[in-house]
Structure 1
């Protein structure tokens, strides 16, 4: 399955200062990794849109009990993102430009 999402970076930057919001979307280690990036707002928006894309690829959202913090984001040494949710791995492509962040998630099989 495949999922895609788009978000305005300024919306995430505004909400990312609220502890409840970041705890809902991100694990503590994800937030730490992203907040240390040079363009932290864009990186946070990219991570949130990546998790939305994974939920769309899964075909389940908030109403079906999916919680974004249960989706594990990981980055390779080169910075390439991927996600794991309920034992399934997702390849991610994340981009940000002109005030927007977008992500595509593609189911790739069982997690290693």
Structure 2
């Protein structure tokens, strides 16, 4: 079992999310598509929440951001009930093997936090 936590200020990502290389490395194509449908403030909140969740998941798996799992292979989507659902792909799925990944994402003002449990 692993637990990961990540906290960041949205503004930390404001410049990075304008760079195509960063978007392609960190986000699944579906997440990029979803973000493009949002207004500027909501887009930044959405991408920051996804980034924090991916960092938390990597920590729960015992990995760092550049340690063999591309964050784009951690796809986070919204379930019908509004909760975040995680789909692991490629090397992320291999690292988790048969474990279940659960996450929670929260936003308050400029702060975004995410916690992940891998069991």
What's the TM-score bracket when you normalise by the shorter of the two chains? Answer: 0.7 to 0.9
Aligned to 1:24: 25
RMSD between superposed Cα atoms in Å: 1.7
Aligned to 1:36: 37
Cα deviation code 1:1-60 (max 9, x no counterpart)? 111001110121221111001111001111222343451111110000000000000001
State the shift of 1:89 in Å: 3.4
Unpaired stretches in structure 2, ≥5 consecutive residues: none
CA contact (8 A) 1:73 1:81 kept: yes
Cα deviation code 1:51-108 (max 9, x no counterpart)? 0000000001245312111112122023211223315431111011121111001124
Superposition misfits of 4+ residues, deviation over 6 angstroms: none
Matched, 1:100 2:111: yes
Provide the C-alpha distance between the structure 2 equivalents of 1:26 and 1:63, rounded to a whole number of angstroms: 14
TM-score (norm 2): 0.80
